[in-house]
Structure 1
Amino acid sequence: MNKKTLVFGASLKPMRYSNIAINRLVQNKHDVVAYGLKEGVVAGITIDTDLKSYENIDTITLYLNPQRQKPYYDYLISLQPERIIFNPGTENPEFQKLLQDNDIEFEVACTLVLLGTNQY
């Protein structure tokens, strides 16, 4: 199944997990959009540096630590994703409560593991 995913906190550095996730999502034929602090292209996907009104987002996979997430709470909720994945190091009970209040599912998981085990 093709699920449109927003990689939030995308990096141009090949060793970063967000970069690896973009590559694996593309390899698995998922539609991918990405937001990060530096413009560039990873696996053919342009990393946006401005907050866009993406449509039909199934999954947001987070690669920002909890302290850096707070300014983006309203924006991420406004995208109305089906779920948000909190990758290792991004777990955030405050944001998770807001997601529950807005009927948005979330998982504390690793996108790379989910993809590698066909559980994505």
Structure 2
Amino acid sequence: MNNKTLVFGASLKPNRYSNYAIQRLVANNFETVAFGLKKGAISGVEVDTELLYYDDIHTVTLYLNPKRQKEFYNYIVSLNPKRVIFNPGTENPELFSILKENNIFFEAACTLVLLSTNQY
């Protein structure tokens, strides 16, 4: 599958949803990259602590609360993803508007549910 996904707000803690999302994306053969506060690896995916300009990002799945997202608006838009998924608790009307202005599809959904129901 070619839907390269950036897990934004990745946590090395195994009980965090972002961590589980990386595990499920890898298990479902999605090319996965991750950005988080602490460097490490989850299911073979290195968590980057610097903002890298990845090529061909299809989906950005957010695991960062709205207050923390603001400093990353330009970065997310610059990746020109096909979609941004706002996982529960990350919904952000201000970023919704910015994405809409830049013709980037977004949805408030749960990556884990989308994967488990084959809707990803």
* Range of TM-score over shorter length: over 0.9
Structure-1 residue corresponding to 2:36: 36
Q: Are residue 86 (structure 1) and residue 55 (structure 2) matched?
A: no
Structure 2 unaligned regions, length at least 5: none
**Two-structure CA RMSD over aligned residues (Å):** 0.5
Residue 75 of structure 2 aligns to a residue whose secondary structure is helix
Residues in 2 aligned to 1:119 and 1:57: alpha-carbon distance in whole angstroms = 18
1:104 equivalent to 2:115? Answer: no
Matched residue, 2:52: 52
SS of corresponding position for 2:89: coil
Give TM-score scaled by structure 2 length. 0.99
State the number of aligned residues: 120
- 1:12-67, Cα deviation, whole Å (9 max, x unpaired): 00010000000000000000000000000000000000000111000000000000
Q: TM-score, normalised by structure 1?
A: 0.99
| Aligned counterparts of 1:118 and 1:107: Cα–Cα separation in 2 | 16
SS at match of 1:96: helix
Deviation at 1:2, TM superposition (A): 3.0
Any gaps of 5 or more consecutive residues in structure 1?
none
What is the percentage of aligned positions where both structures have the same residue?
64
- Structure 1 residue 9 and structure 2 residue 9: aligned? yes
Equivalent residue number for residue 24 of structure 2? 24
2:69 maps to 1:69 = yes
Q: Which runs of 4+ in 1 moved over 4 A?
A: none
Provide the C-alpha distance between the structure 2 equivalents of 1:4 and 1:65, rounded to a whole number of angstroms. 22
Summarize deviations over 1:50-91 as a string: whole Å, max 9, x none. 000111000000000000000000000000000000000000
